[in-house]
Amino acid sequence: MKHCDLPNLQRLRERSELLRNLRMFFDQRGFFEVQPPCLSTDCVIDPYIDPLRVDVREFQLNPSNGQEFYFLQTSPEAAMKRMLAAGAPSIYSLGPVFRAGEQGEQHNLEFTMLEWYELGADVEQGIEILGALACDILKEGHFEVQSYRQLFHEHCGFDPIDAPLLTLVDYAKEIDSSLAMSIAEDRDGVLDLILSHVIQPKLGHDSPVIVRDYPLSQAALAKASTQDKQCAARFELFVAGIELANGYDELRDPDLLLERFRACNEKRQKSGRRSLPLKVPLLEAMRAGLPQCAGVALGVDRLLAVQLGDKTISTVMPFTILNA
């Protein structure tokens, strides 16, 4: 084995300590740790995230459900919500997830995700526990909360929801003209381009920042915001210009979820991506009754890199997809 393929022993120790501290944070608050499956027929549909598929013939079994393939999970969300629908208390999971096509300074095809669901919590309590976790792990005295619209007004001088699409595209052309033109009909894609290049690099350098109330078109699995009818009860954590976590006051309406899944599939098709199955166990579990909860997914590798002052996650991972 080449020396370069050996993991950094000090980073292994630091990762072990972080994992222990994350578990301690939730154990002390009465959460149960759970172990969702990595392989499932379930698949959360996102317009920009591609799951890895595994043909059932690779299993050397004869599945009785007629399923042709399973998904390596991009998040444990679906399985954890099925647990909540079965009556589980507040829960957390700490383990591997997989996303096709992801490789770079802040991405790897396989990475470690911390995900939790706090029973009975709303968006305010979801923000509070995320901020408390960031301060606890990163040894910060406080965290800040800012709204998505507020940040666009402050840094770009326009409202991200009410501004004409042409205004957004013209602004985005100054960042990357060819990319802006290629996504000119995708309002959320243009907003993401502006956010990631203009706003995000400036966030969380003095203290952790939680951005709340994203446009309703970016609601994903979040409820509508009670503070702004044009926004969703969605929030994200940024530290040192890096996005670390994404959270929701969880949507509980299965019919609305199905509607959003269909809209996501339409976006996937327009961008040349494969459509994903609409009939998934998550919808069945929501029809059985998902309790009120707030959920958050956090990238552990990014958190460790920020904690140690590293610029890429490859330096804090034992192995990346390039040398695993």
Whether residue 163 is contained in a domain is answered as no
Neighbours of 38 (CB within 10 A): 17
Whether residue 201 is contained in a domain is answered as no
CA 73-200-168 angle, to 5 degrees, is: 100
Q: State the chain's mean pLDDT as an integer.
A: 94
In this prediction, residue 17 carries a pLDDT of: 98
Strand order in the sheet with 91-98: 32-33, 91-98, 110-119, 293-299, 242-249, 231-239, 209-215, 144-147
- pLDDT tens profile 40-55: 999 889 999 999 999 9
Whether residue 176 is contained in a domain is answered as no
Whether residue 83 is contained in a domain is answered as yes
Q: Considering Cα of 298, then 147, then 242, then 102, what sign does the dihedral take?
A: positive
On whether the pTM is more than 0.85, the answer is yes
CATH number of residue 239's parent domain: 3.30.930.10
Whether residue 117 is contained in a domain is answered as yes
Regions of the chain short of the pLDDT cut 50? 1
Domain extent for 9? 3-143+207-315
In this prediction, residue 66 carries a pLDDT of: 77
Whether residue 194 is contained in a domain is answered as no
Q: What is the tally of structural domains in the chain?
A: 1
- pLDDT tens profile 270-302: 889 999 998 888 898 899 999 999 999 999 999
- pLDDT tens profile 203-224: 999 999 999 999 999 988 999 9
In this prediction, residue 1 carries a pLDDT of: 44
- Which residues have CB under 8 Å from 67's CB, separation 6+? 41, 56
Whether residue 164 is contained in a domain is answered as no
Whether residue 56 is contained in a domain is answered as yes
